[in-house]
Amino acid sequence: MTRVSEGGAFFDWNRLALEENSTVKFPSVEQAREVILRSECLRDAGGSLLSWPTLSERMDHILGLRDLGVGQVTLGIYSSLPGELSESNREALELLEWMDWKTPELDPVILARATRDDLDYLVGALGCNPRLVGIIFQDLSEVRRIVEGWGSLEKVLAGLVDKIRLAKTRGLRVMAFTENLSITRPEDVSGYVEAVCEAGADWVGIADTAGRLFPQGAAYLTGYVKERIEEYKARSGEKKEVGVVFHGHDDLGRAVDNSLAALASGASVVDVVTNGLGERVGNTNLIEFVGNLEYYLRMSGETRFDLTQLPRLAGRYEQMTGTPFGQQQPLVGEGVFSTAFGIHGNYFLKVEILALNMREAGMTEEPVNKFLHEAWRVYSAGSPADLGRRPDIRVSHVSGAANVILRLRQLGAIDDVRKVAKDDPRVVEILHRAKEGWGGLADEVLVSIWQSRCLG
């Protein structure tokens, strides 16, 4: 764990941009006119909402996004338990069928890990809507590979490539994504881009998962990915257009600026969320991003978006999610270090176990805390430890067993996460309850299930 503790597992694209004297350009008029907006309102925002919208409310919101000019809408992430289909995943199929006849001009998108179960769901979902785009993702960052014990980049990347190839043979359009590209080394980014292009990906994703980029870093990283794509096409003779997607987070209040910088450097798709809601501090704000694009286009005598639709879109989203606009604030917000996603919970559980093992091996608190400080910042621009806090793990329909175990520890229901197995019947029951609906599982429900089964 020494490499993680010393910060060596995090690459800094901002520093590289500074060393290369990288500057941020304005987007061209053509880029502003042609960029595809992909709404993450029903996916990445899902872990932070105070209430989850009904199916009819989601349909209404999709219609509003269509009328504004959004081109792609992410409907969710595959998060079902083995052999089952969660309520959220079932309703995503209903939305796919509804969009097939009601909004044929929109591309529906579903997120899936690079696993066979996830891919099988995507293939089945394609039968509900032939315009479906599947995001297939796998974190390749060094810190995740060390903490999770995944092995070499080549091994992990091979699994992603295999699933992309398989998805393409089944007729899916594919966005290849890896979390945390903004902390991944240039040589690993190059390997990722070439491998997924060779596998047939239609888009290559850039995720600034913890919102740590500055605009110069976002521009440099996006330009680097775009150049690697063009080099691959020239070398291989590939004629197909391969787009670049930028997914920003607002942990330090820079998501809109970073997204504009990425657009100017070659991104053809930008991810946005109404009112900027999303995990922790939030995602690139659709309202602000659209406003910037529209006023920029008007300087050139063009127009694209009907800004009169924005107040209604923002107000409706606030009402249907029960989440007031402006609630999430960088650094000091209540949810700034929170996450409900299973892939994140699993990582933080591994970190917790490693720290406990380090203490039992006789290490003092100083090296243990140094490790935690560095390991915790994989999913936030700064470490929670910088502000005297810890990762805030929550349980919802997108969670896994690790989230349940960590939440129980946070609530004081257990004292050692190593003593509770992921397949513990009490954990499984809590997870089943979470996946019966949408949004967060109340702590009192979680504790009630745990304590009643303990007493039983």
And the tokens for 318?
A: 């606030």
Classify residue 257 by its DSSP letter. Answer: H
- Alpha carbon distance 243, 451 (integer Å): 50
The per-residue pLDDT for range 57-113, each reduced to its tens digit, is 999 999 999 999 999 999 999 999 888 899 999 999 999 999 999 999 999 999 999
pTM: 0.89
Amino acid of residue 99:
M
The per-residue pLDDT for range 3-26, each reduced to its tens digit, is 878 788 899 999 999 999 998 999
Q: How many CB atoms lie within 10 A of CB 444?
A: 9
Work out the average pLDDT over 299-320.
89
CA 251 to chain CA mean position, Å: 13
**Judging by beta carbons within 10 Å of its beta carbon (0-12, 13-18, 19+), is residue 183 exposed, middle or buried?**
buried
Q: Which helix (H) or strand (E) holds 245?
A: strand 243-247
And the tokens for 372?
A: 């935690």
Query: Can you tell me whether residue 302 is helix, strand or coil?
Result: coil
pLDDT at 20: 94
- Alpha carbon distance 340, 446 (integer Å): 14
Work out the average pLDDT over 253-261.
97
Q: How many CB atoms lie within 10 A of CB 26?
A: 13
Contact 220, 12 (CB under 8 A): no
The lowest-confidence range among 311-315, 395-399, 403-407, 429-433 is: 311-315
pLDDT above 70: residue 140: yes
**Residue 326 pLDDT grade (very low, low, confident, very high; cuts 50, 70, 90):** low
**Residue 386 pLDDT grade (very low, low, confident, very high; cuts 50, 70, 90):** confident
Please identify which residue in the block is written with the tokens 């009112």: 275
Which domains are seen in the chain, by residue range? 2-321 (3.20.20.70), 338-455 (no CATH)
The per-residue pLDDT for range 205-253, each reduced to its tens digit, is 999 999 999 999 999 999 999 999 999 999 999 999 999 999 999 999 9
pLDDT at 332: 60
pLDDT at 107: 98
Stronger pLDDT, 332 or 158, i.e. the higher one = 158
pLDDT at 372: 95
pLDDT at 455: 54
pLDDT above 60: residue 456: no
- Give 380-438 as a DSSP string: SSS-GGGGT---EE--BTT--HHHHHHHHHHTTS-S-GGGS-TT-HHHHHHHHHHHTSS
Euclidean distance between the first and final Cα of the chain, in Å?
Answer: 40
- Give 71-118 as a DSSP string: -EEEEEE--PPTT---HHHHHHHHHHHHHHHH-TTSEEEEEEESSHHH
The per-residue pLDDT for range 174-192, each reduced to its tens digit, is 999 999 999 999 999 999 9
Across the chain, mean pLDDT equals 92
Query: Can you tell me whether residue 364 is helix, strand or coil?
Result: coil
Helices (H), 322-364: 342-360
